[in-house]
Structure 1
């Protein structure tokens, strides 16, 4: 499955690995899906994780941040959006739609209402993290043993 994942979901998965979205990163580590990203998405994640307020509040260190960024590079696929997308009411979220379209994503995963209201976008489902994990589980149970 090819997935674009909103920065907020990746941050939550890192800072709360045992929370409801923690499995998003765990399943990426196990190569259960391909994470689609662009350079701006990678930079946004690095910027958020390096904010002193975030680092201090959640006890993140350089190793934590480097590990998640390397995981994206290892298990992900870099995508360069091919056209501008301007449909989202929050212009900062258009970059996720651009990566999803250019990377032929199977899903865009977000908890952001500005993105969720666009479901589906050009045939790409925009779903919650819980729905994404359910779909991965469903796909896993369909595999022959």
Structure 2
């Protein structure tokens, strides 16, 4: 595992990874954790924790399973305190992912959010879907 390759996942992609383990978001999260670090900040963690508490997800995974995922994710993630305030995304709520990626020197933001995807690349950070991330990193995963 390389500390140099850093990844940021938006909340919806992480939630999809939890709910559907074998989905592209789930595979992308496992690949990112295997090839480097996944970054987290206080604001991205707060949003993830809040969203994972929603009762509507109970039909996919239990509250206990979602909590276990969150605990394990926090233990593996690298916490970054953003050092730069960014106001660039057309949806201001998504600026926190840009701030995290820039401050944490991420190579990728993995997202399904059109407001983020339209910004690809942002300051040399690739902003891609989980599917595109899997495709882009397929070659290097077969080399290992």
TM-score category, normalised to shorter length: 0.7 to 0.9
8 Å CA contact retained: 2:101, 2:109: yes
Instruction: Give the aligned partner of residue 74 of structure 1.
Output: 75
TM-score by length of 1: 0.87
Gaps of 5+ in 1: none
Instruction: Give the aligned partner of residue 62 of structure 2.
Output: 60
Q: Where do residues 82-93 of structure 1 align in structure 2 (5 Å cutoff)?
A: 82-93=83-94
Change (3 A) 1:5 1:81: same
CA-atom RMSD in angstroms: 1.6
Instruction: Give the aligned partner of residue 35 of structure 1.
Output: 38
Moved over 3 A (4+): 25-29
> Which one of 29, 49, 54 corresponds to residue 51 of structure 1?
54
Between the aligned partners of 1:58 and 1:111, the Cα distance in structure 2 is: 20
Gaps of 5+ in 2: none
Change (3 A) 1:87 1:11: same
